[in-house]
Amino acid sequence: MASIRIGLVGVGKIVRDQHQPVIAANSDFELVATASPHSSLPGIASFRTLGELLSQGPEVDAVAVTSVSAVRDDIAREALAAGKAVFLEKRPCTTLSALDDLVATARSGKLALFASWHSRFAMQVEAARVWLARHPPERLEIEWREDVRCWHSSEDWIWERGGPGVFDPSVNAFSLLTHIAPTRIFLNEAELFVPANRQTPIAATLDMADHAGMPVTATLDWRAEDSQTWEIRARTQDGLLRLFDGGARLEIAGQALPDTEVGGKYFEYTGLYRRFAELVHARVLDVDERPLRLAADAFLIGRRTPVDPFPG
């Protein structure tokens, strides 16, 4: 079977750290072009925009959209209109309406569309999901703390209207929650802590539940300068499950599941591109809006609490 010729739109850190090396190691794909107004990759045909790539560049079968989320909707729509399969970095779209539109477009054109939640492909996530299906949780707790200066230094778009603020990393937690929880989760209340000089929250607390009233809480904070935490805890009658390090490590009733070095730092994106190849060949969709919906619901009903200005 011929390789899938793929173009990358946006050439930032995540492309250099993950997309490019993972594509190079996957025989299902051939990276033939990039589109970015400011950056390029050595030895790969480069264009300023997707439009230029499509009209002047080599033929592509698929496009991975890794640019900032504010422009991702239009780029994905342009790629689908040109008959290309589309891989969307997280967050897949700025709004749920835009995502619904992309889904409808892909379905009508019988094109692959992948809303990639990379944390779901972390090493121990599937084991956690299987165990919770057999040992229903009585309570779920999310603790997601990191230092924004470490990960998004000087990226003002995150703090502007339409930006995600602390929900940029926390949507990863929501993607894990909605995948491993055996029941659907709904938001009841939220408090958003917004710096006086910013538009989006630097921290948040969420109270959620399922239909049966099982409590689900989330503590999200982008001000963790000393220690960072990416953890979901599930309290069950058979012990405590801890899925931590963003899904890379798992502990059940005090017993740690063994780690594996297979895939190493490329483990998540190797799984993502394996899944995308399946979708391209089958011309089907894999789009789950629930992580984005929880974040959107928090903005919709959350109480805004002003906090000290954040200098950046």
Name the active-site residue from 13, 84, 90, 265.
Answer: 90
- Is-catalytic flag, 84? no
Name the phi and psi angles at 112, rounded to 5: -70, 135
Cα dist from 146 to 37, 92, 162, 212, 295, whole Å: 30, 22, 21, 32, 17
Q: Locate tokens 């794909």: which residue? A: 29
d(CA 145, CA 210): 24
d(CA 284, CA 282): 6
d(CA 218, CA 181): 14
b/e per residue 232-264 (b: at least 16 CB within 10 A): bbbebeeeebbbbbbbbbbbbeeeeeeeeeeee
Residues annotated as catalytic (active site), given as ranges:
90
